[in-house]
Amino acid sequence: MSVLFRRYLSPGYFIHVSVFSQAILSGGISLLNDLLPSIIVLANRGPTEAELAAFIFKWISDFRILCTVDLEGGQSEVIFNGLDDALPNILLFLSSLLEKCGGAVLAKHPEQLTVSGKKHGLTVAACLLAANAYAEWVPVVHLAKYGLIERCKSLLNFSNPQVLALRFFKVVCQRRRPLYATEDYDTAMNLVFWALMNISKYCLTTSKTCSGLLDESLLEFAGRICECLVALGSFNMQFIIKDGNRATHFFQQMLEYYQHYKIALHFRCLQFWLMVLMDLSKENYVAPYPVAVASAVNPASFTNSTEKTNSGALVFVSDDICDGMLDISFERILKKSPVTSPEWLELWSDELHGKNGFVQYRSLLVRFLVLISFRN
């Protein structure tokens, strides 16, 4: 993450945030509603004060998530119910701060930022941290209604805040689709879907033009995007396949990750494709990188599931997609060597990816090839 978004905050800073937040929680929702105008006025004084305000709201959200002990005969339940009532004002506040301070950061390159611009950058980081905290439990419909999805989407194309902004989308994608999802929910998830599709397409296109000179930061960010898409497909497949255009774009993107010449991107979605082909449930483990392949391979995980959440997805896995995955799988089933290694494709390397993982990795590929053959 950029140095712009790393900041050492003194213990006194956190003490101010903690004391202020605990005072709000102790006083209940009426005190929070009374203090909201004052917090907004404080935030309008400058980026440092706005950063403090964002951390106050983040701390309140964190407390709501982590608190499992009832306070004085139901007080915590009353506070949290009241917090739900205050959500519109809190979410609108964070959204407006991202819009206001984000402009000062995005207008210039990091090396051109003034002291004031850097302070705005820290405020954006604090707002994104708060937004990510609320994204864990606030209804997805509210995240769209009060502008947080759009604000985070606007930050994905800029190097400084993009990792924190993408984290927001990953948190949303990892949430289970409601059993009785409404049209409003699908509308909100559609915003999430196309935000990820667009930034994914940009990264894949850029990585192809870079060839072997792919920047490590771009590779890492592309991997994070792939993880978001894997989470989206694992927890919201029924939403994706409700629309043919959406499903076509999604599976084409996942094919491109599987075919990518960098093995890290290829590997991130290997078990996703196994999940789709076996019609598995969303609980299956997806290893983040080849070095973790040994712990990722658990044959029982492919047979213990009874939930068929991806039913219908195979309709959109065309013969062309299967052929493309077959070709790259046969290429990757070999280890890297001076004789067998094509210049355009990064194969498994014992030196880079470990000597003990290739057997398990190849077993996944063989399983994949068997499933593809049944599909055809």
Domain ranges for the chain, please list them: 1-169
Burial (CB count within 10 angstroms: exposed 0-12, middle 13-18, buried 19+), residue 13: middle
Find tokens 């305000």 and name the residue.
53
The pLDDT, as a whole number, for residue 34 is 77
Rounded to two decimals, what is the model's pTM? 0.80
Cα 342 to the center of its chain, rounded Å: 33
149 pLDDT band (50/70/90 cuts)?
very high
Rounded to an integer, the average pLDDT of 7-25 is 54
User: How far apart (Å, rounded) are the C-alpha atoms in residues 258 and 156?
Assistant: 23
Contacts of 359-362 spanning 24+ positions with Cβ under 8 A: 360/293, 360/294, 360/296, 360/297, 361/267, 361/290, 361/293, 362/333
The pLDDT, as a whole number, for residue 261 is 85
Q: Kindly list the distances between the CA atom of residue 211 and the CA atoms of 208, 215, 261, 335, in Å, as whole numbers in the listed order.
A: 5, 10, 9, 20
Top-ranked range on mean pLDDT: pick from 39-53, 219-233, 350-364: 219-233
Least confident of 32-41, 85-94, 344-353: 344-353
Average pLDDT, whole number, for the chain? 76
What are the backbone angles phi and psi of residue 196, rounded to the nearest 5°?
-70, -40
2, pLDDT greater than 50: no
User: How far apart (Å, rounded) are the C-alpha atoms in residues 118 and 366?
Assistant: 51
- Kindly state the percentage of the chain with pLDDT values over 70: 67
Higher pLDDT, 253 or 64: 253
User: How far apart (Å, rounded) are the C-alpha atoms in residues 122 and 133?
Assistant: 17
Rounded to an integer, the average pLDDT of 238-258 is 93
The pLDDT, as a whole number, for residue 192 is 97
303, pLDDT greater than 60: no
Rounded to an integer, the average pLDDT of 234-255 is 93
The pLDDT, as a whole number, for residue 245 is 93
93, pLDDT greater than 80: yes
What are the backbone angles phi and psi of residue 228, rounded to the nearest 5°?
-60, -45
The pLDDT, as a whole number, for residue 180 is 82
Rounded to an integer, the average pLDDT of 22-33 is 65
142, pLDDT greater than 80: yes
Higher pLDDT, 124 or 85: 124
18, pLDDT greater than 50: yes
